Amino acid sequence: MTEYNTVVDCLLAWYIQEQRILPWRQTKDPYKIWISEIMLQQTRVDTVIDYYCRFINTFPSIIHLAEAELDIILKQWEGLGYYSRAKNIYKAARMVVEQYEGKFPNTYEQIIHLPGIGAYTAGAILSIAFNRSYPAVDGNVLRVISRIFLIQNNIGDTAVKKEIHDIVQFLIPEGRAGDFAQALMELGAVICIPRMPKCTICPVHSECRAYHENKQDELPIRSKPRKQKQVLRYIAIIKNNNEILMRKRREGELLGGLWEFPGVEADTIEQFQEKFYVEYGLLIQVDDHILDCEHIFTHIHWKMKVYRCRIVEKHVGNIVENSTWMSKERMNEIPIPTAFQKIKKAVF
């Protein structure tokens, strides 16, 4: 049986000595900790550091964030991906200003109702910012606990997640909730990594049941990931003097609210032209091939063929709603997602 106290003591001692120096670890401001936790979702620490520092410099408080325009926030987020995160922090910031006079709430019930915040993020804020004994169970923690306690069931199952949540809750040492939460996350990030964990230098390997039974590479057990859908998109680069046609994607679409080079799903150039006329009201002549590129989202894989095109005919009236002509200077000011950044570089 794993000695709980030994695990906690060894883990905390290791964390105090070996923790990485990260900008969000230099504060107890719940606003800044919240921003870091949202940015760190699905994103590597090395990538987040510069984004976090720029973001906090631009929006030093939740009031500054709430008073900003969404497009400015999205521009600051450009390149981080998963843009719904940025939209949700904007909504949440406005809610905090309206309901809590700009002071970040400090109860689980209040925090969990803010847009974009789930049980993990609420637990992380409460434990790190307020030193409250709430578990913060993310993917790293699920992996660490499943190995230490040899949990050989699918960690995607609700009952298994609850089991791990309860174990973490039991382990939280009195008065050290923040350090303990970060120590678990840190262990999963740098030692108890998904493949080839560094067990020989792990501070708790002597208490790890998976290590003793040589099953650390088999855990955690997960359900098979959903197969990605592959989509072929044809992209049109259409110039009008020194401006290029751009489209703002509709809310509810993938990358909704962000700007793209207009395109459609198609299998051939002929289908591209037909669908483009239906979608944009523009009959185009496809000229030069510029490049092929791709972008992989969580559940979809875009393969994009990019062509220089020109307008041959258009419907009566203006171009399709949410589309406009833009100069290079204006394009540098608007949020263009990573999926289209390679295209942007090729065009200019």
Q: Active-site residue numbers?
A: 37
277 backbone dihedrals φ, ψ, rounded to 5°: -65, -40
Of 97, 123, 98, residue with least CA distance to 109: 123
* DSSP character string of 192-205: S-SSS--GGG-TTG
306 within 8 A of 292, measured Cβ to Cβ: yes
E strand or H helix at 46, and its extent?
A: helix 45-58
Number of residues in the chain: 348
Residue 143 backbone phi and psi in degrees, to 5: -70, -45
Q: Could you tell me if 102 and 61 are in contact, meaning their C-beta atoms sit under 8 angstroms apart? A: yes
Asked if residues 303 and 232 have their Cβ atoms less than 8 Å apart, the reply is: yes
Q: At which residue do the structure tokens 């990605």 appear? A: 228
Sign of CA dihedral 96, 101, 104, 109: negative
Q: Are 267 and 258 in contact (CB under 8 A)?
A: no
Distances (CA, A) of 103 to 3, 23, 242: 40, 21, 47
Compute how many other C-beta atoms are within 10 angstroms of the C-beta atom of residue 164.
21
Distance CA 318, CA 193 (A): 54
> Residue 65 contacts by C-beta under 8 Å, 6 or more apart in sequence?
31, 59, 73, 89, 90, 93
> How far is the C-alpha of 46 from the C-alpha of 22, rounded, in Å?
10
Q: At 272, list the tokens.
A: 């591209």
